[in-house]
Amino acid sequence: MITFEGVTKRYPGGTVALDDVSLECPAGRITVFVGTSGGGKTTALRTINRMVEPTSGRVLIDGKDVRERKPAELRRGIGYVIQHAGLFPHRTILDNIATVPYLLSWNKKKARARALELMERVGLDPAMGKRYPFQLSGGQQQRVGVARALAADPPIMLMDEPFSAVDPVVRAELQDEFLRLQEELHKTIVFVTHDIDEAIKLGDRIAVFQTGGRLVQIDSPENILAHPADDFVAGFIGQNRGIRTLSFAETGGLRLSGDAVRAAGTDAAEAAGTEWVLVVDDDRRPLGWARPAQAPGKLGEAELTPVGPTFQVGGDSVRTALDAAVLSPSGLAVGVDETGAVVGTASGTDLLAVPTHGRHGAGSGERPEPAPEPEEADAGGAG
């Protein structure tokens, strides 16, 4: 756990970069510092590894004031990743990743073996180990930056806009892999970004900083979206706050209907009263939509309308399910299990009735959430 106790940083000339900031970054979780440019995010991050010394207040790691530790020794236990990766240009990728192991006097063989292992972990072909940074794409360089920070297996990682310099597609990939890695590694991570969407995707907790180094709110992404502390936070979150809240609503408690689901080969006349039916194969995999009134005969014989996007029940959020409903020709979202078999369908109205608590998707670990109400607890099933 990292604790800020009344941390203030005033630079000569009078700039207040941090104004009496108190917060906690729980062990094994991702805390994201987000906010306006010049709000003090980077300054706050750097007080943790003593690259910045507070004017007053204290930063504690597991209850111990960081000032009691020598900066060099402290930093070896704290991985640090920055924008543009900050790799050493004249060192190979392997040697870049092995920087801290070398500093810790590991023998070269062990350090390189560790670097190779980490390259695989962060999704880089180990054959790239002999290359130099300029021979890698921006996204690959960022992966090297993450691998380098992880090399000596530090319990803490500080990440300052690590994915900001790459295009949105690569950025999303890096974020997804980062979350997967964190599920295995459970590091205590402090992550700075100016991008609220990145903060919501990655953070277990989000700390919002305002100009003048003031911490305005620290809470879970769900609560920040649902209950912004003031107009500044509401404005910072931006539009579509309601819809985005649905990213945190789980589909596991949803009651899905089997009324519109029919096996291929069934007589269309049997479903004559239903405008759209979802035709499934023997394994309940969706084949497409049919309108029985317009295509008499056996379902599946006439051409079907493509199913469109589906959602995984319990795995995807209500936001994803709602998206599937909006794009579905029938207006019904198709819920599938992890094998792709149809569980049932839900209308937009069904989906909006789901309460919006709980973390969705490829997550950054469980978080203490209120237990579901009994009536929400039964898992979705064709019913």
Q: With contacts defined by CB under 6 A, name the span among 33-41, 61-69, 164-172, 222-230 that binds ligand ATP.
A: 33-41
Using the minimum distance from each CB to ligand ATP, give the nearer residue, 55 or 107.
55
Using the minimum distance from each CB to ligand ATP, give the nearer residue, 13 or 273.
13
- Which of 38, 123, 138, 361 binds ligand ATP (CB under 6 A)? It is 38
Q: Which one-letter amino acid corresponds to residue 315?
A: G
Please, which of residues 163-202 interact with ligand ATP by CB under 6 A?
194
Please, which of residues 200-239 interact with ligand ATP by CB under 6 A?
209
Using the minimum distance from each CB to ligand ATP, give the nearer residue, 47 or 188.
47
Please, which of residues 43-72 interact with ligand ATP by CB under 6 A?
43
Residues 73-100 as b/e (b if ≥16 CB within 10 A, e otherwise) read ebbeebbbbbbebebeeeebbbbbbbbb
Q: Which uninterrupted H or E stretch holds 208?
A: strand 205-210
Residue count, binding to ligand ATP (CB under 6 A): 13
Should residue 139 be labelled a site residue for ligand ATP when binding is judged by CB under 6 A?
A: no
Q: How much helix, strand and coil, in percent to the nearest 5, is found in the chain?
A: 35, 25, 40
Using the minimum distance from each CB to ligand ATP, give the nearer residue, 213 or 286.
213
Task: For Cα atoms 365, 322, 171, give the angle at the middle one, nearest 5 degrees.
Answer: 50
* C-alpha R_g of the chain: 25
Measure the CA–CA gap between 325 and 260, rounded to whole angstroms.
Answer: 14
Should residue 262 be labelled a site residue for ligand ATP when binding is judged by CB under 6 A?
A: no
Full DSSP string of 288-303: EEE-TTTS-SBTTTSP
- Which of 1, 6, 11, 269 binds ligand ATP (CB under 6 A)? It is 11
Measure the CA–CA gap between 380 and 335, rounded to whole angstroms.
Answer: 9
Should residue 245 be labelled a site residue for ligand ATP when binding is judged by CB under 6 A?
A: no
Should residue 247 be labelled a site residue for ligand ATP when binding is judged by CB under 6 A?
A: no
Give the HSE-up count for residue 202: Cα atoms under 13 Å, Cβ half-sphere.
33
From residue 236, give the alpha-carbon distance in Å to each of 95, 99, 106, 196, 205.
41, 38, 46, 8, 16
Q: Which uninterrupted H or E stretch holds 56?
A: strand 56-61
Should residue 39 be labelled a site residue for ligand ATP when binding is judged by CB under 6 A?
A: yes
Smallest gap from Cβ 160 to ligand ATP, in A, equals 8
Should residue 14 be labelled a site residue for ligand ATP when binding is judged by CB under 6 A?
A: no
Task: For Cα atoms 185, 245, 371, give the angle at the middle one, nearest 5 degrees.
Answer: 65
Q: With contacts defined by CB under 6 A, name the span among 41-49, 293-301, 343-351, 357-365 that binds ligand ATP.
A: 41-49
Should residue 17 be labelled a site residue for ligand ATP when binding is judged by CB under 6 A?
A: yes
- Which residues make up the interface to ligand ATP (CB under 6 A)? 11, 15, 17, 35, 37-43, 194, 209
